[in-house]
């Protein structure tokens, strides 16, 4: 099957644009995170829900792009396409994290300079595969699956969802898929309400891996189900309204406080299970109104994945600066935060044009 056959379907430019909006919010979340004392007072309190939104979008787009292609596509060719799409930026993000590793000198990570070079390079090479790093190789001390680029954990679960889809769940009927999605929704709500939030999934231990699976299975396969059953309407100004909804949801302060954790859990459950699918439906139903809106959505869509994959190696420097200057306030930090945000966007766009697109083109030829 040649690559052009997969490029014949109409695109959803508004969904691309929304992915970019969510990616920018993720960066602001990570920039505000070190200024908080804990989960209850983060300035971008629900920014981590962007990952759940990404999983939903991914399931929807995968189903739309591939569901009707399996009579002329093998599981192997599907994985080749996914590797070509995802791996170049995985490699770049891990490499950037490795380059910056010894320069993030901080009271947070006092043992960084004691880590031998061979161990850091081993973590980088494992990171290239997106397989989780065991805790014995936790060279930063944050118990991350990927100590050189924190966000790698979500790519690990993205791959698992892709494998489950290609090998097994693509064969489900709509009814069977709806049952799976219903059970996954109950599991997600239980996690959110008992924990107070769904934050987690980035550590290689049983509780965190359970969180990662729970956060992945519902949104990804709900997106797949939506791709099979929804019939888009025609909705005007969809990009504007969906963008506002995403920003409001992700910037919403913590609900209920420490005394009523379940209230925040209910909020997050409703957002992921009901509101996010509604946003995807509106976005898929929307029509681009102007050339300017089309350019904005295209730019944000192209930027989203590179931005997500390259921003955290820069954030490590910012986090180190915050930790070395105790008592730093948002007023003092915002110029540095803005610099990191702007730098991450410029770096992501440069990575897209000078690295990601050429490498993917080369991989397409190599992988056939």
For the chain, the domains span 37-367
Name, in order, each residue with C-beta under 8 angstroms of 2's C-beta and a sequence gap of 6 or more. Answer: none
Residue 50 pLDDT exceeds 90:
yes
Longest dimension (CA), the chain: 60
Is the per-residue pLDDT at 3 higher than 80?
A: no
Q: pLDDT band at 1, cuts 50/70/90? A: very low
| Three-state SS at 307 | helix
Which range is least confidently modeled, 6-10, 27-31, 68-72, 269-273?
Answer: 6-10
pLDDT of residue 4: 45
**279 pLDDT more than 80:** yes
pLDDT for 146 beyond 80: yes
In this prediction, residues 123-132 reach a mean pLDDT of 98
Q: How far is the C-alpha of 10 from the C-alpha of 248, rounded, in Å?
A: 29
92 contacts 355 by C-beta, under 8 angstroms: yes
Report whether 232 contacts 281 (CB < 8 A): yes
Q: How far apart are CA 146 and CA 103, in angstroms?
A: 17
The residue ranges of DSSP E strands in the chain, in sequence order, are none
For residue 127 the two structure tokens come to 């990171």
pLDDT number for residue 8: 58
DSSP class of residue 83 equals: H
What confidence score (pLDDT) does residue 76 get? 95
| Residue 359: Cβ-neighbour burial (10 angstroms; 0-12, 13-18, 19+) | middle
Q: Count the helices and strands in the chain (H runs, E runs).
A: 13, 0
Our measurement of the distance from residue 252's CA atom to the centroid of its chain's CA atoms, rounded to an integer in Å, reads 19
Q: What is the pTM of this model?
A: 0.96
The candidate with the shortest Cα–Cα distance to 142, out of 196, 190, 99, 97, is 97
For residue 177, what are the CA distances in angstroms to 168, 218, 220, 222, 225?
11, 11, 11, 8, 7
What pLDDT sits at residue 309? 98
Q: Is the model's pLDDT at 32 over the cut of 80?
A: yes
305-359, pLDDT tens digit by residue? 999 999 999 999 999 999 998 888 889 999 999 999 999 999 999 999 999 999 9
CA angle, residues 6, 7, 13, in degrees to nearest 5: 125
Taking 90 as the threshold, does the pLDDT of residue 299 lie above it? yes
Cα–Cα dist 366/226, whole Å = 33
Q: Where are the alpha helices (DSSP H) in 33-113?
A: 49-66, 75-100
- Positive or negative, the Cα torsion across 216, 169, 306, 269? negative
Res 209 pLDDT > 70: yes
Q: What mean pLDDT is reported for the chain?
A: 94
- How many Cα atoms are found within 13 Å in the side-chain-facing hemisphere of 262? 2
Name the nearest CA neighbour of 18 among 194, 277, 198, 214: 277
Residue identified by tokens 């679960």 is 157
For residue 97, pLDDT beyond 70 = yes
pLDDT value of residue 22: 98
Distances (CA, A) of 43 to 29, 46, 108, 324: 8, 9, 21, 20
Alpha-carbon span 338 to 143, nearest angstrom: 28
Overall average pLDDT of the 14-20 stretch: 98
CA distance 45 to 251: 6
Query: What confidence score (pLDDT) does residue 350 get?
Result: 98
Q: Give dist(CA 265, CA 83) in Å, integer.
A: 34
Phi then psi dihedrals of residue 252, to 5 deg: -60, 130
Q: Reply yes or no on whether the pLDDT at 303 is more than 80.
A: yes
């Amino acid at each position: 099957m040649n690559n052009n056959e997969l490029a014949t379907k109409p695109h959803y430019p508004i969904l691309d644009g929304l992915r970019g909006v969510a990616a920018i919010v993720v960066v602001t979340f990570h920039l505000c995170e070190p200024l908080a004392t804990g989960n209850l007072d983060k300035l971008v309190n629900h920014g981590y829900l962007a990952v759940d939104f990404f999983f939903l979008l991914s399931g929807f787009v995968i189903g739309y792009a591939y569901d009707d292609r399996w009579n002329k596509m093998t599981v192997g060719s599907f994985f080749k396409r996914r590797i070509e799409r995802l791996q170049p930026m995985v490699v770049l993000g891990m490499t950037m994290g490795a380059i910056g590793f010894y320069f993030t000198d901080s009271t947070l990570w006092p043992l960084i300079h004691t880590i031998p070079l061979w161990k850091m390079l081993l973590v980088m090479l494992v990171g290239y595969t997106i397989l989780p790093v065991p805790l014995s190789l936790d060279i930063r001390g944050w118990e991350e699956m990927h100590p050189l680029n924190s966000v790698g954990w979500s790519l690990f679960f993205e791959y698992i969802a892709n494998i489950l889809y290609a090998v097994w769940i693509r064969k489900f009927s709509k009814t069977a898929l709806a049952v799976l999605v219903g059970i996954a929704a109950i599991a997600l709500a239980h996690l959110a309400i008992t924990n107070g939030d769904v934050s987690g999934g980035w550590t290689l231990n049983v509780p965190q891996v359970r969180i990662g699976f729970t956060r992945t299975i519902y949104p990804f396969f709900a997106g797949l189900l939506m791709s099979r059953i929804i019939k888009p309407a025609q909705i005007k100004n969809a990009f504007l309204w969906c963008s506002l909804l995403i920003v409001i949801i992700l910037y919403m302060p913590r609900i209920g406080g420490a005394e009523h954790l379940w209230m925040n859990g209910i909020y997050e459950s409703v957002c992921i299970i009901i509101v996010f699918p509604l946003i995807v439906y509106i976005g898929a139903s929307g029509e681009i109104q102007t050339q300017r809106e089309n350019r904005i959505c295209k730019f944000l869509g192209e930027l989203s994945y590179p931005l997500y994959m390259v921003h955290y190696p820069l954030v490590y420097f910012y986090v180190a600066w915050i930790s070395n200057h105790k008592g730093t306030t948002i007023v003092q930090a915002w110029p540095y935060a803005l610099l990191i945000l702007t730098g991450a966007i410029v770096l992501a766009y440069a990575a897209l044009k000078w690295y990601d697109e050429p490498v993917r083109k080369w991989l397409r030829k190599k992988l056939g």
